[in-house]
Structure 1
Amino acid sequence: MPDIIRLTDITRRHGEQTILHAVSLAIPCGQTCAIVGPSGSGKSTLLNLIGLLDQPCAGQLLIDGQDMTHASAAQRAIMRNRALGFVFQSFNLLPRLSALDNVALPLSYRGVGLHAARRVAQGQLAAVGLQARARHYPAQLSGGQRQRVAIARALVTEPRLLLADEPTGNLDRSTADDILQLLLALNHERRLTLVMVTHDPQMARHMQRCIQVSDGRVSDGHAA
């Protein structure tokens, strides 16, 4: 199975401080993968590099077969919109937009018309069980519902790679479990590669693979 992510000797520095030290990592298409480690270990930096929100100082970065090591900001934005979906701990929904229009928003960046974008967005809300909440605003939704809207928004461009940064961090245990099961179902049904940063060992155990980041270095293994 081909790799959707391949990092070779990736180093990332911030000023004089080295955040990641010559990290090499390959993640095949369709895998579920947890990135774990203490605060300040470099796991968020690693996710930002994979998500093309940041660039390496040395090494090579391939995403979906394309060399993105020295890609321009515009090239990275195109790749993010074409192949990547993002889910964040804080949901990052726009409060003045309905659930439907929050989900439709990424399609507007592709030049899709409002009517067509809303039609696709309605389908993605149905996929996460929130079609009945399409006209609700974020303030009218529970935390779990807001995260489902955020997941639907991440899916609306039909990405091959879903990146989740502590997606259950603001949720109670029961709701967190529901969100995890939704993400795993999407991985199975859509063959999505799922890469999730988490501090929660229980979440990590459900992934096929667990990558430990410590002091900017990576050790690899499978979740128990």
Structure 2
Amino acid sequence: MSTPRRTQQERRETTIGLLVEATIATIAESGYAKASLGAICERSGVSRGGLFRHFDSRQDLMVAAAAEVAARHFASVEERIKESLTVLEAIHLLRERHRAIDNVVWFELMVAARTDPELRERLKDTTKRFLDQIVVVARRVLGAEMFDDDEFALLVNTLEHTFDGETIRRELAPDPAAEDRRVELMAEFVEFLVERRSTSSP
């Protein structure tokens, strides 16, 4: 029995998938600066001509890679928070995702965007959508109902920023004991806020 021929759209999606996957892997392995189109094409098995049929520039490819990393991050968190988690479990999950290898791409792109105004502008929408999605999913964590929307978004973003810094710093000065205690303290603080609001509610 012969294998059905793939449609043009299926071939297009496969090629884009190979290029985006190769971009993520190359940035994670070698860094943003060394993620050249040549290196990406070699890893993906797609020619330069094939790449430019789908992406107008290297930056277009980087933005697509950022969107894919955000989607994977969100999908992983969504899968794990299908049922209500405790505060401590949720914070452990958040840190785990920040340390995931594909999340390195976020850090590389954030650093690159600091001195690249066009990249910074193009990543704004992806970043905002990603953070908004995380806040929505985090609402499933036990005790989240005690916070209003603005306050809860600020709390989640503060935890995100903490783990951004920790993930980068631990490459130079790892301190597992302090890192574990940090998670415990963060959970204790959030639980304190939840309890305080529950006792002060009319």
Q: TM-score normalized by structure 1? A: 0.27
Higher-strand-fraction structure: 1
* TM-score between the two structures when normalised by the length of structure 2: 0.28
Higher relative contact order (CA 8 A, sep 6+): 1
